[in-house]
Amino acid sequence: MNNIKKALDSWERKINSKSERFTRSGIPVKVLHTPLDVKGSYMESLGFPGKYPFTRGIHEEMYRKRLWTIREFSGYGDAVETNRRLKYLLQQGETGLSIAFDYPTLLGLDSDDELSRGEFGMAGVGISTLEDMELMFQDIPLGSVSTSMTINGPAAVIWAFYILAAEHQGVSPAELRGTIQNDILKEYMAQKSYIFPPEPSLKLVVDTIEYSSKALPQWNPISISGYHIREAGATAVQELAFTIANGLTYVEETVKRGLDIDDFAPRLSFFFDSSIYFFEEIAKFRAARRIWAREIRSRYKPKKERSMWMRFHTQTSGVSLTAQQPENNIVRTTIEAMAAVLGGTQSLHTNAMDEALGLPTELAATVALRTQQIIAEESGLSDTVDPAGGSYYLEWLTDEMEKETYAYLDRINSMGGVIKGIRNGFFQKEIAESSYRYQKEVEEKKRIIVGVNTYARSGVVKIPLLKVSERYERRQISRLREYRKDRDEQKVRQALNDIQKAAWERNLMPSIISATRARATLGEIVAAMKEVWGEFREQVIF
Amino acid sequence: MRKIRVIIAKPGLDGHDRGAKVLARSLMEKGFDVIYAGIRQTPEDIVRAAIEEDVDVIGLSVLSGSHLYQFRRVASLMKQNKIDDVLLIGGGIIPESDKPKLAKIGVSAVFGPGSSIDEISNFINSKCRRLK
């Protein structure tokens, strides 16, 4: 090491390129990184894949044994139209399903609610009933495919629809594999699809974790998500720190409910963003695994190794895409997807090139899917475990990400935890600051965006776009009205009353499932819960 | 001289407020009077606030795809309330093919992803000066 130090000193005297460069999180990057930057012992900070602290991956052989799941987020129009797109993607080699819901569904409103006007089927599929759920998965065997559903506020209800749709296919809950996002804390921080106040929302999340640990042992009842925090403007460090803080909050609440760490921690899953600043993203994923394993081990002393695993899904960054020269987005997505693979992701969504303009067309969605297949089959990135590990720069950056994350965790802890931080606007302020700073850097060309603030080209962008036909909405609303006619109203009322009685008293899942059997709609079930729990209004911070 | 007053709001249900917030703060720094109304505003809320706050500009941000419905509704309420001299602009994920439709109902400009703050503030300045 002494020799290296001497040689480095003399090398540094000769270099001129001393201007400062920073990662997107503001970590200063040196001109050159050497073994001197890598502190800590190999066995303690890295170790072996499949072994604590899992920095190099959660599985011994990683992608050699099992490739990440290729899971493209999709959904638009009504259940019937989305069913068509899902089957197309499966035919094209997708290996898992991922459902995007429209805004009314995300907020627990029926498709014919006054507030749903103009929104039906636009940003995802509109689902109001068990029947809609069954139509969406018609001819898709739920016993053999895994489904991820991006749903938060009303996740418990949508999950009940899914469980019963599977039952009607003859598939039992214990056989079901998949994920509900169900991460409400980040909704208050970033994505803003909250319904109820934080306290009852958190109770409902713990209900689902508890229920799945008993009835759906292969299901991931939550996907603790940094993605939306990041897309709302946070840096990679903030994304990581806030996600870990949220994750630890869910664990603590579930343990307080009386569950054993080993009964639910193995089914917790995570979801991160992969943006364009390549090495920082890889470092983030590796640091995430290490921090999570360490915290779970030191706080809860699990017996199962799996309880310390951070399994995660990754999506490439929507914000990094440009409306200008959209074809360039294929390249951005490729770089981001490679970072996710080098970071050891368990599942991946690659964005389509046209997503800064609208929902992806079939062609754009296919190119996105092929991007993953090229990385998987041609690039060789999956041939050896953690191929970027050992890079002086990457290991140093992984340590830096970890250090900065702990600094945030300490701050969150000293302010009294995540819910306090949400209530006093801490997270919202931090995110708004970062996004404002980033925009300034772009305006001042301190950050270059090709085709936007550099190499711009004037003229109108010509690219085919997906149009969501109004036909789907008409079809949906007439189906929904028929559904409501064909039921015993008294049974519905009784089921909704039961939900209200159970709201604070006991696990809500059985009551929600009963209400679904009685043909109550999403909007009706959520409205019943709102009556007991109230609705959340945020204080506006910008 | 009175500063130009701008209300920035997000009609509809989507919570993607990054752009709206950055714009609100940036316009403030450029010397505009800015009211940021926040997310999940109905067109009625927005027009009411615009009247109460006596604004010169209404800026709407929609990323959910419901822009045609939302903008139409705001524009028609502006007409009903006789404030259609107020400048109406928009932003978000809005396909090129919808821009002529928005222009027809009175949306003066649409600023999509990648628009610079200068571009937007220059536009507001030039239009509002002409209005006065």
Do A130 and A13 lie in one domain? The reply is no
User: What's the pLDDT tens digit per position in A113-151?
Assistant: 999 999 999 999 999 999 999 999 999 999 999 999 999
Using 50, 70 and 90 to split pLDDT, how confident is the model at A462?
confident
Domain endpoint, select from A414, A443, A472 = A443
pLDDT per position as a tens digit, A289-337: 999 999 999 999 999 999 999 999 999 999 999 999 999 999 999 999 9
- A496 located within any domain: no
- For residue B12, give how far its alpha carbon lies from the nearest alpha carbon of chain A (Å): 7
* pLDDT value at residue A47: 96
Contact residues, chain B, for A188 at CB < 8 Å? none
List chain A residues with CB under 8 Å of B17: 192, 232, 542
**Averaged confidence pLDDT in chain A:** 96
Look at residue A465 in the predicted model and tell me its pLDDT. 84
**Are A130 and A18 found together in one domain?**
no
In this structure, the answer to whether residues A287 and A374 fall within a common structural domain is: yes
**Inside any domain, residue A260:** yes
| A349 located within any domain | yes
Q: Which residues contact B33 (CB under 8 A, 6 or more apart)?
A: B3, B4, B5, B6
Q: What is the pLDDT of residues A481-527, one digit of tens each?
A: 999 999 999 999 999 999 999 999 999 999 999 999 999 999 999 99
Residue B132 scores a pLDDT above 70? no
Question: What was the pLDDT predicted at B15?
Answer: 93
Question: A323–B112: do the CB atoms touch at under 8 Å?
Answer: yes
Question: Does one domain contain both A30 and A75?
Answer: no
Is A460 among the domain residues? no
CATH of the domain at A145: 3.20.20.240
Q: What pLDDT shows up at residue A463? A: 84
Which pLDDT score, from 0 to 100, does residue A337 have?
98
- Mean pLDDT for A472-478 is 95
* pLDDT at residue A293 in the model: 98
Residue B129 has pLDDT above 90, yes or no: no
Q: Is A359 within 8 Å of B65 when comparing Cβ atoms?
A: yes
A23 and A76 both lie in a single domain: no
Q: Is B64 left (phi over 0), alpha (psi -120 to 50) or beta?
A: alpha
The boundaries of the domain holding residue B21 are: 5-131
Residue A33 shares a structural domain with residue A47: no
pLDDT 10s digits, A64-85: 999 999 998 999 999 999 999 9
Of A460-469, A481-490, B54-63, minimum mean pLDDT range: A460-469
- Domain of B116: which CATH number? 3.40.50.280
Q: How many folded domains does chain A comprise?
A: 2
Within 8 A of B38 by CB-CB distance, chain A residues are 538, 540
Rounded CA gap, A82 and A166, in Å? 17
> What is residue A541's predicted lDDT score, i.e. its pLDDT?
82
Between A and B, how many residue pairs show a Cβ–Cβ distance under 8 A?
A: 107
Residues of B in contact with A123 (CB under 8 A): 14, 63-65
| Same-domain check for residues A317 and A217 | yes
pLDDT in tens, B12-51: 999 999 999 999 999 999 999 999 999 999 999 999 999 9
Same domain, A29 and A124: no
Secondary structure of chain B in the HEC alphabet? CCCCEEEEEEECCCCCCHHHHHHHHHHHHCCCEEEEEEEEECHHHHHHHHHHCCCCEEEEEECCCCHHHHHHHHHHHHHHCCCCCCEEEEEECCCHHHHHHHHHCCCCEEECCCCCHHHHHHHHHHHHHHHC
Provide the percentage of residues in chain A whose pLDDT is more than 70: 100
Question: Is residue A185 exposed (0-12), middle (13-18) or buried (19+ Cβ within 10 Å)?
Answer: buried
Residues A151 and A16 in one domain: no
User: pLDDT value at position B131?
Assistant: 55
- Same domain, yes or no: A81 and A197: yes
Mean pLDDT across A23-39:
94
pLDDT confidence of residue B99: 94
Q: Number of structural domains, chain B?
A: 1
- Residue A538 domain flag: no
For residue range A214-233, what is the model confidence (pLDDT) as tens digits? 999 999 999 999 999 999 99
Does the pLDDT of residue A17 top 80, yes or no? no
* Whether pLDDT at B130 is above 60: no
Of B12, B68, B113, the CB nearest to A322: B113
Query: Which among B14, B68, B93 is the nearest to A357, CB-wise?
Result: B93
Q: Are residues A14 and A138 in the same domain?
A: no
Per-residue pLDDT for A173 more than 70? Answer: yes
Q: Please tell me whether residues A370 and A232 are part of one structural domain.
A: yes
What is the pLDDT at residue A213?
97
Query: A191 vs B15: CB contact, 8 Å cut-off?
Result: yes
Report if residue A491 sits inside a domain: no
Predicted confidence (pLDDT) at residue A358 exceeds the cutoff of 90: no
A314 is in which domain, residue-wise? 42-443
